[in-house]
């Protein structure tokens, strides 16, 4: 079923005409009268529609997007070389990441700045949008960058489960970290005295081709990050974030 992100959803029973990039996409798809499509506001609400004629749709009743995860996972990746970031962003959106943040670290070879970074961010956001449409997401995850590793650590550490994957860690695993999150969630009372039903927040941080320096790892510990192993095998910088994200989604019932 075709999916289109729009600024505002039409009222139930009203007509809506696709325009701009959505219209171009619809022409490529050669939509036929009676065919079902979905409009999404990019904030988690879907509007099922039926094609009336050409680019004109008839709107149905709004509903929450069933594809959005119940856990909010932010992916923090040190700038990789070449076009590796494009692959990670596309697959991370498909797997359910809530946002993707890039940052410089000591061993980064690529350090885009200024107009070069702005151009990359624009392209990366388009990749995220296309991946969200393809995977039937209800939200287009934002792709952004921060100026320094220290800033990334401060922000990432605010999550309930802030994880940094480090190849030289061996005693503390992602399984251990998720067990802590489970205990934290089960013990958090809500305003009525019951258990909190708010979505848990997780941040996953990975390094560039050279990993992290020992100094960066120490700063991460001081910031509150949990330093975890992803197993005895060394994963490439474009593999580690996706492996960690998939593992978290599986453990929390999203896969």
CATH number, domain at 176?
3.40.1280.10
- pLDDT tier for residue 185 given thresholds of 50, 70 and 90: low
Do 38 and 97 lie in one domain? The reply is: no
Do 132 and 212 lie in one domain? The reply is: yes
Mean pLDDT within 18-47: 91
Helix 149-156 × helix 214-223 angle, to 10°: 30
Domain end residue (candidates: 17, 40, 64): 64
CA distance 159 to 199: 11
Please state, in angstroms and as integers, the Cα–Cα distance from residue 216 to each residue in 149, 206, 225, 241, following that order.
8, 12, 11, 18
Domain end residue (candidates: 47, 64, 81): 64
Higher per-residue pLDDT: 216 or 195: 216
Do 93 and 187 lie in one domain? The reply is: yes
Do 124 and 48 lie in one domain? The reply is: no
Q: Which range marks the domain in which residue 30 is found? A: 2-64
Please state, in angstroms and as integers, the Cα–Cα distance from residue 209 to each residue in 120, 140, 223, 230, following that order.
19, 27, 23, 16
Higher per-residue pLDDT: 222 or 109: 222
Higher per-residue pLDDT: 25 or 91: 91
Do 246 and 217 lie in one domain? The reply is: yes
Mean pLDDT within 225-241: 94
Do 103 and 57 lie in one domain? The reply is: no
Cβ contact 12:59 at 8 Å: yes
Do 208 and 143 lie in one domain? The reply is: yes
pLDDT at 187 over 60: no
| Domain total of the chain | 2
CA distance 80 to 94: 20
Mean pLDDT within 218-235: 94
Q: Which of 36-40, 136-140, 198-202, 243-247 has the lowest mean pLDDT?
A: 198-202
For the whole prediction, is pTM greater than 0.75?
A: yes
What pLDDT, on a 0 to 100 scale, did the predictor assign at position 144? 97
The owner of tokens 């390094």 is 207
State the average pLDDT for the chain: 90
Do 130 and 226 lie in one domain? The reply is: yes
Do 88 and 53 lie in one domain? The reply is: no
* Residue of 96, 90, 53, 57 whose CA lies nearest to 74: 96
- Residue 20's Cβ-count burial label (10 Å; 0-12, 13-18, 19+) is exposed
| Helices within the chain (DSSP H only) | 20-29, 84-95, 114-134, 149-156, 174-186, 214-223, 240-251
Residue 77 falls in which region: left (phi positive, over 0), alpha (psi -120 to 50) or beta: beta
What pLDDT, on a 0 to 100 scale, did the predictor assign at position 1? 78
Domain end residue (candidates: 12, 47, 64): 64
- Residue 103's Cβ-count burial label (10 Å; 0-12, 13-18, 19+) is buried
């Amino acid at each position: 079923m075709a999916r289109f992100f729009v600024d505002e959803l039409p009222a139930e029973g009203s007509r809506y005409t696709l325009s701009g990039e959505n219209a171009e996409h619809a022409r490529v798809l050669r939509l036929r009268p009676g065919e079902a499509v979905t409009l999404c506001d990019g904030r988690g609400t879907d509007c099922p529609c039926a094609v009336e004629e050409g680019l004109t749709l008839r709107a149905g009743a709004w509903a929450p997007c069933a594809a959005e995860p119940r856990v909010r996972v932010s992916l923090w990746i040190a700038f990789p070389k070449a076009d590796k970031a494009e692959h990670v962003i596309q697959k991370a959106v498909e797997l359910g990441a809530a946002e993707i943040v890039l940052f410089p670290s000591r061993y980064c070879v690529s350090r885009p700045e200024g107009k070069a970074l702005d151009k990359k961010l624009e392209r990366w956001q388009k990749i995220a949008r296309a991946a969200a449409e393809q995977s039937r997401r209800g939200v287009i995850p934002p792709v952004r960058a921060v100026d320094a590793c220290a800033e990334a650590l401060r922000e990432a550490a605010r999550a309930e489960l802030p994880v940094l994957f480090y190849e030289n860690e061996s005693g503390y695993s992602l399984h251990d970290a998720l067990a802590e999150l489970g205990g934290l969630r089960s013990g958090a009372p809500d305003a009525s005295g019951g258990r909190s039903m708010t979505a848990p927040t997780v941040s996953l941080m990975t390094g560039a081709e050279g990993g992290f320096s020992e100094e960066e790892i120490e700063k991460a510990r001081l910031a509150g990050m949990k330093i975890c192993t992803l197993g005895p095998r060394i994963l490439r910088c474009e593999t580690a974030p996706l492996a960690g994200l998939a593992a978290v989604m599986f453990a929390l019932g999203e896969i």
